[in-house]
Amino acid sequence: MSSNTDIGFISMPGARALAYMDVFSELNKFPSCILKLSNPHLNKSLTTLKGISQSYISMKNDEETLSKHASIPLYSINASDINDDIVLALIRETGIKTWIFSGGGIVKPHFFKAGIRFLHIHPGQLPEVRGSTCFYYSLLCDNTLAATAFFLTEEIDAGEPIFCQHFHINLPNEILNATYMDYVIDPWIRAQTLKRVWQSWPNISDIKKTSSKHKSKTPSPRACYVMHPLLRMMTINKVTNRFDPLSPKGLFINE
């Protein structure tokens, strides 16, 4: 077991944070502490995730369990917004300058001015595919699925990419729906990309040189923000229509 004194984990409790904590547990390598935000929709999110038949997010490694197992501090904050004054105050108290970010809003400039770095996993290939639900657009545009690790900057989705991982889906329509996309696929591709970076951390210079033969096209000259429900359904139908019953079923990392 090892912990990294130079980096903490900001958890917005939910599927994404659980997937990230699965990575920490799997690698037996942990951040120096956990800063747990408050998610007012957590019970609904957990109930939804529990109702999905899947094997990608264990739900065993919550913040309290991980803190005890790794013997690292857990700071629980009664704030759901990353920009709440109490968050920056606590970050300053810890003295930690680099944090793995799992949500809580768009980080405001005062964090960057304070010298704080946030390692974020974006659900798309940067810089080509930007925006909050961009993996839907990539799947609809050219059937690609990717996630990119980078450090946040004041400009959204503009940080220099550290590592980009591509994936593919082979699931039938009785499994794949919008809930599965949002609660399983989105957090899982982010977590698997984080895993590659976390395996190398803190020596990430070599992983920056890694180049994938898989590439995503730019779906739109504009950032790909919230997609219309009809387009989401078109995307899901396009993916399930490609389902191959003779090939292994599930989510896969493209090597």
Domains of the chain in sequence order: 2-253 (3.40.50.12230)
pLDDT in tens, the chain (255 residues): 666 679 999 999 999 999 999 999 999 999 999 999 999 999 999 999 999 999 999 999 999 999 999 999 999 999 999 999 999 999 999 999 999 999 999 999 999 999 999 999 999 999 888 777 889 989 998 999 999 999 999 998 888 999 999 999 999 999 999 999 999 999 999 999 999 999 999 999 888 766 567 777 666 666 656 778 899 999 999 999 999 999 999 999 998
Omega within 30 of 0 (cis) for the link into 202: yes
Please tell me whether the overall predicted TM-score, pTM, comes out greater than 0.85 for this model. Answer: yes
pLDDT recorded at residue 220:
64
DSSP calls for 188-232: HHHHHHHHHHHHHTT--HHHHT---S-----S-SS---SPPHHHH
Question: Bridge-partner residues for 167, per DSSP?
Answer: 145, 253
